[in-house]
């Protein structure tokens, strides 16, 4: 039972409550750094580290932090993890750090992270909080990667820098420019909403059939 509970917290972030496609949070890094798959994954990993670290600490100290100063405490915790991620990336992968530029420090302002602390980590036991953070960050990473992969394949004819098409492929340069981010995100959101609509329709049909049958 306990196992199922934490599994449920993990899975909901990946799919049902996906932070990007369903909650539409974290749009700023989503549109800005998804011009290649590598950048998207680096951003996703940095966010994962920050979110899991902060959720863990916030949940551990949830009874110690007075609620009047909780938001300030959350921000201090988040900012510390972001600084650690920033310097680590700069030391280990300077090229990726240069590409991501100002968007690493801006993880502090990602409402997905503060939102999870306020809505979940500060109210639930540590194990659940970490699972929730892993799920949400996993969902965010997945969303960043899908956008980054689509944009890199169409805009550069490559994935992770490996050419996919022959020389005759003319890259859609617009896809790696800002409009490409909006276009791709729009199409993906459209798909998610269509999927949800179809699912609701299907469930309604099933309910009706059951009522008719009984």
Q: Name the residues that contact another protein, by CB under 8 A.
A: 35, 63-69, 72-73, 76-77, 79-80, 83-84, 87-88, 90-92, 94, 122-123, 155-156, 171, 173, 176-177
Least Å from the CB of residue 36 to another protein: 10
Least Å from the CB of residue 171 to another protein: 7
Least Å from the CB of residue 73 to another protein: 5
Question: Residue 211 has which token pair?
Answer: 């009522």
Residue with tokens 């966010």: 47
Contacts of residue 205, Cβ cutoff 8 Å, sequence gap at least 6 = none
Q: Which is nearer to another protein, 65 or 111 (CB)?
A: 65
CB neighbour burial string for 77-105, b if at least 16 within 10 angstroms, e if fewer: bbbebbeebbeebeeeeeebbebbeebbe
Q: Which is nearer to another protein, 123 or 199 (CB)?
A: 123
C-alpha span between 68 and 55 (Å, rounded) = 19
Burial category of 15 from C-beta neighbours within 10 Å (exposed 0-12, middle 13-18, buried 19 and up): middle
Least Å from the CB of residue 94 to another protein: 5
Helix (H, G, I), strand (E, B) or coil at 165: coil
Q: Which is nearer to another protein, 24 or 177 (CB)?
A: 177
Q: Which is nearer to another protein, 177 or 190 (CB)?
A: 177
Least Å from the CB of residue 91 to another protein: 4
**Crossing angle between the packed helical segments 2-14 and 126-156, to the nearest 10 degrees:** 30
Question: Residue 75 has which token pair?
Answer: 């921000």
Q: Which is nearer to another protein, 26 or 53 (CB)?
A: 53
């Amino acid at each position: 039972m306990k196992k199922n509970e934490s599994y449920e917290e993990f899975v909901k972030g990946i799919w049902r409550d996906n932070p990007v496609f369903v909650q539409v949070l974290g749009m700023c890094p989503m549109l800005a750094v998804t011009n290649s798959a590598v950048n998207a994954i680096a951003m996703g990993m940095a966010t994962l580290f920050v979110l899991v670290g902060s959720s863990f600490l916030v949940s551990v100290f949830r009874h110690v932090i007075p609620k009047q100063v909780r938001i300030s405490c959350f921000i201090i915790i988040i900012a510390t993890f972001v600084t650690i991620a920033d310097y680590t990336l700069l030391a280990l992968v300077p090229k990726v750090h240069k590409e991501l530029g100002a968007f690493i420090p801006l993880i502090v302002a990602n409402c997905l992270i503060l939102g999870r602390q306020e809505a979940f980590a500060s109210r639930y036991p540590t194990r659940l909080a970490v699972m929730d953070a892993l799920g949400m960050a996993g969902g965010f990473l997945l969303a960043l990667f899908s956008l980054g992969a689509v944009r890199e394949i169409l805009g550069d004819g490559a994935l992770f820098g490996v050419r996919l098409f022959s020389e005759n492929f003319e890259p859609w340069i617009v896809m790696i420019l800002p409009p490409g981010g909006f276009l791709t995100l729009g199409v993906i959101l459209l798909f998610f909403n269509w999927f949800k609509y179809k699912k609701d329709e299907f469930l309604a049909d099933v309910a009706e059939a059951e009522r008719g049958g009984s």
